[in-house]
Amino acid sequence: MSKKPLGKDHDGVQKVMRTGDYFADSLGQFALNAMSGLIAQIAYFYTDKVGVAAATVTAVLMICKVIDAFTDIIMGNIIDHTKPGKEKYRPWLLKMAIPAAVVIVALFTVPANASEGLKLAYMLITNILLTAIVYTAIAIPYSSLMVVRTNSQQERGIMGTWRAAAGYVSGMIIAIGIIPITNALGGNQSAWVKFGFGFALMVILTLLICYARSKETAVESGKEADVTIVEDDEEAVPFKEAIGNLFRNKYWVMILVMGFLSQLSYGITSGAGAYYCKWIYGDDNLTAILGGVGLIPTVIGFALIGPMIKKLGVTNSLKVSFFIGMVTTALRIINPTDFVYNTALGCFATFANIPMMCLLGVMTAMTIDYNEYKYGKRIVATSQAASSFGGKIGSGVGSSVIVFCLALANYDGFATVLTPAVRQAIYTFSIYIPLVLFIIMFVITLKFDLEEKLPEYRQEIEKRKRA
């Protein structure tokens, strides 16, 4: 039975994606967020389950993230220099599935009774393997797939929403479940190893499904098989020239900064909850309730993002969401100790983060299209890698900000009394810093005008191709 033709989007671009394609593609983000979600909790695991000093954890996470960020650039260069005629992106999903699972489990098998030096070495090696090598070798080609999978901006937006939703599900399972589940399993290091093993199996499965369904050419089968939009095998751009071009693309620079700030925010909020619940609310098991309530604005956010984009457009949707995030985060300063009050305001902040989760990849794809208009080449993988570079630095700094603040306050994970210094440290990384980040991102969106200019640029690109 032939499939129903998909037709064209509102811009007249051929559509190529079906529901099964969106779902399978989104599983790649599920796997990536599973890895990043576990990393976001690793500071709490190191300080409160293995007994590593907060200052040591800070050093480890910062070193790993710096290395991780630079491997993004290397990976992008490797992909962009793949020999013409070969698939550039999807094979990496298959290659990295098993290594990802192995390293996830190894992350939690820190030799608890070893010397501080041996613990430090083990933590460095396992974190670098997971974040700088395995995660990067998946994330860069996976993010690039959006650009070559479809030329439809509408379908890219839908892909972004599906990816964000799948990634959020993965992250929320960890945020909601990791404390109560590991506590139920004994609350010790062994419990965390078991939790990690379960996610390792899910990572293998989701990557294999994503690989099986993904494509690198936007080809619609069935009645519209004659409609073929194939990625051009453009000549590889020398690395130095590619980076120079990117930094002369003002829109790409804006997205680079927004990616850094958004990942900084996610890195902080993902790791802050356990500390806030344990010390401000007095019960770390409240992280499960906090995460469960957070599902409400998440579901609402994913339900509304489509209508928001249709009504307001991509950029204006972000402006509205960042404004909501600014106001509600600022209101938390009034009464930071009340669980109900802060949870309610936190729901609005959670909603405010959803559009950015969905649309950062879409906006990056816009800047790649602008590369083609400005330079005649899209520079796909290097563009994605350099954007990821900023995001990785942001995520690493986010995780490190938490332990850095705690280290300044002389935090002791085994203490029984909350000191004033630790209280202020927790308020700083949970409220004050996220507020500043919302403000900066709102200002950047006020300057981003590429969306309204892009149709004109695409027409010019088509004229050049026909000439």
Mean of the per-residue pLDDT values of the chain: 84
φ/ψ of 359, rounded to 5, equals: -110, -10
pLDDT given for residue 229 in this prediction: 41
pLDDT of residue 393: 73
User: Counting beta carbons within 10 angstroms of the beta carbon of residue 44, is it exposed (0 to 12), middle (13 to 18) or buried (19 or more)?
Assistant: buried
User: The domain spanning residue 305 has which CATH number?
Assistant: 1.20.1250.20
pLDDT of residue 174: 86
Asked if residues 380 and 148 have their Cβ atoms less than 8 Å apart, the reply is yes
Residue 228 lies in a domain: no
Token representation of residue 139: 């994330």
Q: Is residue 264 part of a domain?
A: yes
- Alpha carbon distance 367, 454 (integer Å): 9
Total domain count, the chain: 1
Separation of alpha carbons 410 and 413, rounded Å? 10
pLDDT at 10: 65
Residues of the chain with pLDDT under 70: 1-3, 9-11, 84-85, 218-236, 386-387, 392, 396, 399, 467
Q: What is the pLDDT of residue 231?
A: 46
Specify the pLDDT at position 1: 47
Please check whether residue 13 lies inside any domain of the structure. no
Instruction: Residue 61: give the domain boundaries.
Output: 19-216+235-462
Tell me, what's the pLDDT at 218?
57
In a domain, 386, yes or no: yes
pLDDT of residue 84: 62
> Is residue 8 situated within a structural domain?
no
Is residue 3 domain-resident? no
The predicted structure's pLDDT at residue 11: 64
Predicted local confidence at residue 242, as pLDDT? 80
- Structure confidence at residue 220 (pLDDT): 45
Contact 229, 218 (CB under 8 A): yes
pLDDT score at 207: 96
- 227 lies in some domain: no
What is the pTM (predicted TM-score) of this model? 0.69
**Is residue 54 one of the residues assigned to a domain?**
yes
φ and ψ of 219, to 5 deg: -120, 125
Query: Each residue of 73-129: pLDDT tens digit?
Result: 788 888 877 776 677 888 999 999 999 999 999 999 988 788 888 888 999 999 999
